[in-house]
Amino acid sequence: MKWFFAFNEEGPKFQDFAKMVKVAVATAQEKTSLEPFCIYDGSENDLTSWLKNRKVNLIFHRTPHYDRFKNNMVDQSFRTACGAYLRVEIPKIIEQYDISDEYVLYTDCDVLFVNDVVDYLKSLQCRYFGAVPEPRHSLKPLNSGVLYLNVKKMQEVYNDFNDLIKSRNGMFPAFDQGAYNQFFENKWDQLDISMNWRSYWEHNPNAKVLHFHGPKPTQVEAIKNKTIPPHQRPLVNQNFWSSTKLWTNKYQELLDYVPIPNLTGSHDQLKEISQNLIVQSSRIQELKEWVSNHKNNKNDHKIAIIDPVVNINHPPSPMAISNYQNQDQVLEADKDTTCEPHFLEMLYELNQVIASTNIPLEGNICYPNRSERKDFEKQPPSSKPHLRSKRKNMITLTRNRRRMLEIGLNGGHSALIALYNNPQLEFHSVDICRHKYTELAADFLKQKYPNRFYFYKGDSRDILPQIAIQKRHIKFDIIHVDGGHGIEVCRTDISNSIRLSSKRSILIINDTNNKHISNVYWEYVRWGFLLPQREYKLEQTNSHEISEIITIPDQI
């Protein structure tokens, strides 16, 4: 199910709303299977980059009433109205983008998803839309902060609704909310109150969407200084502070900061690390010389590595490895065994488990992103060149390896390929289980490989340190990082991976076409913790689809 939210860059207190947008998106992705769509009026900035990294569909759009509002409203009202009326555009946008959904969900940005909403919403039918009343114990007026839209019916009245807005220059009580109440009087259906549970109401374990209607969790200082509007002050109660604490804890998790890898230790340990960094600098210089000698040879299949210190913001996307027994030995690409009948039999079993959830499959090594049930359940792996090359590389890289760690199991397809092709491999995987099918896929793999597959449910930032402490004997000689795309998450995952690695481990980092992931990766190269290797003869792939493949320095 598609979920829309909307805001504009010119809106009041944009930075505060940016924080609330992040929490809304993060909790929607953690608690639900909603597919997020952001309607945005503004220029690209750090927030739009963050949204893209979280796989939010970003739609740049402006209300058709923009000029009319500008000419007839005071500045504060104009900037608020341009954001508020963006939700009215959803039926038009769905038509423009040829989206086939019969129903979609809209929420304001100042919400926090606390439970799943999809199963409940799919059971409903609405004349035009469903909403929750503004007063708690009343049938009207409606609150437009959460709307479950009947797309076809809303498209039928789109022009008439906008004519009403135009006739009043958008000047309704509470902007769009007043317009919805006037135009759709007695024509909307009531949603369960849990879909728009207010932050100042008592705790409700069955609440689905927590709405910061009135005072916001970003206004703590204003509340303490009593500078919020007088009509909002009675809403600041103990329930509001409990809701704000919940929101603040989630936002704290999203902050893009994590300390650099821990370099504390004994004098001898620090001396050893320092010597190792000198060795890595020398080897990088060798790589630069090698590149210089081979840059004009178009038929040469060796990697061209640019100095990561100089090109830290715009590095290339090379793919290279070295054999863990002999650094200068080159690996040949193995054949793609994922079309063998026995493998396909197991693949289809796994796909049936995933398909049983009726959730579109997130992109992986076998299938494109958002694959519907019919596109993967009984279908062989995609023949798209970049996916076929990814599979061949995974087969090659995992051969002769003893123990593998994967951050981000998703549907378990990479794990199945690795376990099938290397009968000696012990596979450990961590996933937060944002999708319902992930835990089911893990159960399937545990049944197929009971003594070789181990699954840890939870945030990798919590799980990996626990593994390091509780299972000190476990070290990994190949690690696949394909988890969260935030800077903080990526740094933490790489740091923890390094601490869990054995000597000469291979570290595969996925999605390095993502700017933030690429920059974090090259930071670790510059620090000497990761070293791109000299040459390769693996399957070449589009750099936007496959990870960097590197090895860690000895004795890190």
The vertex-256 CA angle with 255 and 259, nearest 5°, equals: 110
Return the H-helix or E-strand segment holding 183: helix 176-183
pLDDT score of 193: 98
47-51, 68-72, 411-415, 536-540 — which is least confidently predicted?
536-540
pLDDT score of 159: 98
549 to 280, 417, 479: CA distances (angstroms): 16, 18, 10
pLDDT score of 195: 98
3 to 39, 191, 247: CA distances (angstroms): 11, 16, 20
Task: Determine the Cα–Cα distance for residues 367 and 417; give it in Å rounded to an integer.
Answer: 13
Task: Determine the Cα–Cα distance for residues 496 and 485; give it in Å rounded to an integer.
Answer: 15
Contact partners, residue 451, CB within 8 Å, separation at least 6:
none
pLDDT score of 513: 75
Task: Determine the Cα–Cα distance for residues 368 and 163; give it in Å rounded to an integer.
Answer: 42
pLDDT, mean of residues 484-498:
86
Cβ atoms of 398 and 427 within 8 Å: the answer is no
Cβ atoms of 529 and 541 within 8 Å: the answer is no
Residue 177, classed as helix, strand or coil, is helix
pLDDT score of 314: 31
What backbone phi and psi angles, to 5 degrees, belong to 254? Answer: -90, -10
Q: DSSP letter for 495, please.
A: H
Name the one residue in this structure whose structure tokens are 């799943």: 116
pLDDT score of 281: 53
Cross-strand bridge partners of residue 38: 5, 58
355-359 long-range Cβ contacts below 8 angstroms, 24+ apart: 356/437, 356/440, 357/33, 357/435, 357/436, 357/437, 357/440, 359/33, 359/435, 359/436, 359/437
What backbone phi and psi angles, to 5 degrees, belong to 519? Answer: -65, -40
pLDDT, mean of residues 47-59:
95
pLDDT score of 386: 80
Strands 129-133 and 142-150: antiparallel
pLDDT score of 532: 67
Q: Please state, rounded to an integer, the average pLDDT across all residues of the chain.
A: 83
Query: Per-residue DSSP letters for 296-345?
Result: T-TT--S-----TTTTSSS---------SS-TTPPPBPPP-GGGSHHHHH
pLDDT, mean of residues 399-426:
93
Percentage with pLDDT > 90 across the chain: 60
Task: Determine the Cα–Cα distance for residues 103 and 4; give it in Å rounded to an integer.
Answer: 11
pLDDT in tens, 225-259: 999 999 999 999 999 999 999 999 999 888 743 43
Say how far residue 8 (Cα) sits from the centre of its chain: 22
Cis peptide before 141 (omega within 30 of 0): yes
Cβ atoms of 58 and 40 within 8 Å: the answer is yes
pLDDT in tens, 109-153: 999 999 999 999 999 999 999 999 999 988 889 999 999 999 999
pLDDT in tens, 61-120: 999 999 999 999 999 999 999 999 999 999 999 999 999 999 999 999 999 999 999 999
pLDDT, mean of residues 280-303:
45
pLDDT, mean of residues 284-289:
52
290 CB burial (10 A radius; 0-12, 13-18, 19+):
middle
pLDDT, mean of residues 538-554:
42
Say how far residue 1 (Cα) sits from the centre of its chain: 17
Dmax (CA) of the chain: 78
Domains for the chain: give ranges and CATH numbers: 2-214 (3.90.550.10), 267-329+398-415+422-551 (3.40.50.150)
Q: Is the pLDDT of residue 480 over 90?
A: yes
Percentage with pLDDT > 70 across the chain: 81
pLDDT score of 270: 53
pLDDT score of 412: 96
Task: Determine the Cα–Cα distance for residues 44 and 9; give it in Å rounded to an integer.
Answer: 9
pLDDT score of 167: 97
506 CB burial (10 A radius; 0-12, 13-18, 19+):
buried
The vertex-489 CA angle with 487 and 490, nearest 5°, equals: 65
Both tokens of 433, joined, read 């289980």
304 CB burial (10 A radius; 0-12, 13-18, 19+):
middle
Give the model's confidence band at 523: pLDDT under 50 very low, under 70 low, under 90 confident, else very high: confident
555, amino acid identity: Q
What backbone phi and psi angles, to 5 degrees, belong to 514? Answer: -70, 125
Question: What's the predicted TM-score (pTM) here?
Answer: 0.51
Outline where 413-556 has alpha helix (H).
413-421, 436-448, 460-470, 487-499, 515-527
pLDDT score of 98: 92
Contact partners, residue 505, CB within 8 Å, separation at least 6:
324, 475, 476, 477, 478, 479, 551, 552
Task: Determine the Cα–Cα distance for residues 126 and 234; give it in Å rounded to an integer.
Answer: 34
Q: Is the pLDDT of residue 543 over 70?
A: no
Say how far residue 127 (Cα) sits from the centre of its chain: 34
Q: DSSP letter for 43, please.
A: -
Cross-strand bridge partners of residue 551: 506, 531
Task: Determine the Cα–Cα distance for residues 376 and 391; give it in Å rounded to an integer.
Answer: 16
pLDDT, mean of residues 302-322:
30
pLDDT score of 88: 98
20-29, 287-296, 431-440, 470-479 — which is least confidently predicted?
287-296
Task: Determine the Cα–Cα distance for residues 437 and 339; give it in Å rounded to an integer.
Answer: 23
Name the one residue in this structure whose structure tokens are 């690209």: 44
77 to 51, 58, 89, 145: CA distances (angstroms): 27, 25, 19, 18
